[in-house]
Amino acid sequence: MEPEERKISVWICQEEKLISGLSRRTTCSDVVRVLLEDSHHRRQRPAPPEPAGGMLSGPPHSYCIVEKWRGFERILPNKTKILRLWVAWGDEQENVRFVLVRSEASLPNAGPRSAEARVVLSKERPGRGLGAARASLALTQERQRRVVRKAFRKLAKINKKRQQPLAREASSAERMETLVHLVLSQDHTIRQQIQRLRELDREIDRYEAKIHLDRMKRHGVNYVQDTYLVGTGGGEPEPGREPGQPAAGRPEEDYARKCEEVLQLQEQRAQQEELLEPLAAEERELAAGPGLADTDCDTTELSGGGEGELHLEHERVKTQLSTSLYIGLKLSTDLEAVKTDLDCTQRAWEDKERELQRLLETLGTLDVAEAPAEPLGAAGGGRP
């Protein structure tokens, strides 16, 4: 126990006496005896006379200590451990006061106080009165002990009730602090992920630009169209081949193949347009909603995680939209190239068809011209 807790104050006739050196075994009777000895030493010293109320005289058992608290007062038994009682009061020590008074003096009627039995000796039967006085004294001491024990139990309950709210507040504060740390950690993680996604987007853009520049250097600016137009010159007839069936059948096969490719590209384009419609609608909603999202996020102090998720979703949709637009433009370019190739193939097929018709007409003319020449040769050979 701390040294300052071993000191208590006792009031004597409106004068405060500070008593130190108390221990757990110090009782009220010990305190009374010390105060009487101090008063006796002070009377022996040559000093100005003190007021009559400040001088103590008489044996120690003629005095007792009264405990006063918020208008209540009670006489403490002589064997009460005063230091233990003082510590048990806890936070109420500032409202407790110990007063030294004579045992036979009546206490002022300042409020409710514990009852004290008075012994009245009988004049007729001294022996009987003495037995009754002893019984009353024993009953009074037992009652005082019960009162002291009850006071200790009540103080223990008060201290326990005061400690429970403190423990609850401490646990609530710890839970709140844990939640705050968790939210801050999640916000930090989300910000790191967003930063990483941005870095990956920049790396992808640089890689695509590098590949595009390399292809432009190797294949030219219109390398996509040239890739689909590679084989269009194969429709010309070879120099040593007859302009007949092979020349007429090859354009038809190319035409059928190109038609199938055009149908496939149109289906792919329709699918990409269907995918682009919800993405475009979502992009418009996100473009129109940042103000509302910011207003909602400002209503709480710990809403940094929601804003980060919204920004991450916005970046993801934006990336998907850019990718879909790139794919759509590429498919549109491919479709235009296929259409151009198809037109060229169709024109070549029409030219081949006209050439075939001309050859067929020429062949028919030659057959008609050779038919009349055969009878003339037979008639000339029969003459003598």
| Dihedral sign (CA 253, 257, 260, 266) | negative
Give me the residues paired with residue 11 across strands. 16, 99
Find, among 95, 82, 88, the residue nearest to 154 by Cα. Answer: 88
The stretch 140-162 carries a mean pLDDT of: 82
Identify the top-confidence range among 98-102, 110-114, 159-163.
98-102
For residue 115, the model assigns a pLDDT of 39
For residue 162, the model assigns a pLDDT of 79
Q: Which of 69-83, 110-124, 149-163, 204-218 has the lowest mean pLDDT?
A: 110-124
What letters, b where the CB count within 10 A reaches 16 and e where it falls short, cover 137-167?
Answer: eeebeeebeebbeebeeebeeeeeeeeeeee
Q: Which of 104-118, 248-262, 320-334 has the lowest mean pLDDT?
A: 104-118
Task: Give the pLDDT confidence of 240-279 residue by residue, as tens digits.
Answer: 444 444 444 455 666 677 777 777 777 777 777 777 777 7
Q: Per-residue confidence at 55, pLDDT binned at 50, 70, 90?
A: low
Of residues 267 and 79, more confidence is placed in 79
Find, among 50, 55, 7, 14, the residue nearest to 35 by Cα. Answer: 55
For residue 128, the model assigns a pLDDT of 45
The stretch 96-121 carries a mean pLDDT of: 58
Identify the top-confidence range among 80-89, 99-108, 164-173.
80-89
Alpha-carbon gap, residue 342 to 358, rounded angstroms: 24
Q: Which of 69-83, 100-114, 165-179 has the lowest mean pLDDT?
A: 100-114
Q: Per-residue confidence at 295, pLDDT binned at 50, 70, 90?
A: very low
Q: Per-residue confidence at 235, pLDDT binned at 50, 70, 90?
A: very low
pLDDT of residue 53 exceeding 60, the answer is no
Give the chain's domain count. 2
Identify the top-confidence range among 20-34, 112-126, 207-221.
20-34
Q: Per-residue confidence at 301, pLDDT binned at 50, 70, 90?
A: very low
Query: Is residue 346 situated within a structural domain?
Result: yes
Please report the DSSP string for 58-82 in residue order: S-GGGEEEEEEETTEEEEPPTT-BH
The residue from 116, 142, 166 where one domain ends is 116
| Mean confidence (pLDDT) of the chain | 72
Query: Is residue 169 situated within a structural domain?
Result: no
Q: Which pairs with CB-CB distance under 8 Å and at least 24 residues apart come from 220-228? A: 224/330, 224/333, 224/334, 224/337, 225/333, 225/336, 225/337, 225/340, 228/334, 228/337, 228/338, 228/341
Q: Going along the chain, which residue ranges are E strands?
A: 8-12, 15-19, 63-69, 72-75, 96-102
Of residues 291 and 104, more confidence is placed in 104
Give Cα 31 distance to the centre of its chain.
60
Query: Is residue 210 situated within a structural domain?
Result: no
For residue 367, the model assigns a pLDDT of 79
Q: Per-residue confidence at 312, pLDDT binned at 50, 70, 90?
A: confident
Query: Is residue 126 situated within a structural domain?
Result: no
Query: Is residue 130 situated within a structural domain?
Result: no
Q: Which of 70-74, 175-179, 283-287, 292-296 has the lowest mean pLDDT?
A: 292-296
The stretch 145-158 carries a mean pLDDT of: 83
End-to-end CA distance of the chain: 169
Query: What does pTM read for this prediction?
Result: 0.31
Q: Which of 12-26, 138-152, 294-308, 350-364 has the lowest mean pLDDT?
A: 294-308
* CATH of residue 108: 3.10.20.90
Query: Is residue 161 situated within a structural domain?
Result: no
Query: Is residue 377 situated within a structural domain?
Result: no
Alpha-carbon gap, residue 31 to 67, rounded angstroms: 13
314: how many CB neighbours lie within 10 A of its CB? 17
Q: Which of 70-84, 115-129, 143-157, 284-298 has the lowest mean pLDDT?
A: 115-129
Q: Which of 4-8, 206-210, 311-315, 348-352 has the lowest mean pLDDT?
A: 4-8
For residue 258, the model assigns a pLDDT of 73
The residue from 66, 92, 116 where one domain ends is 116
Alpha-carbon gap, residue 341 to 260, rounded angstroms: 13
Q: The domain containing residue 20 runs over which residues?
A: 1-116
Of residues 8 and 278, more confidence is placed in 8
For residue 72, the model assigns a pLDDT of 84
Residues 6+ apart with CB under 8 A from 359: 243, 244
Of residues 35 and 285, more confidence is placed in 35
For residue 139, the model assigns a pLDDT of 63
Query: Is residue 215 situated within a structural domain?
Result: no
The residue from 95, 116, 137 where one domain ends is 116
The residue assigned the tokens 């409106």 is 14
Q: Nearest-5° angle of CA 164, CA 169, CA 175? A: 130
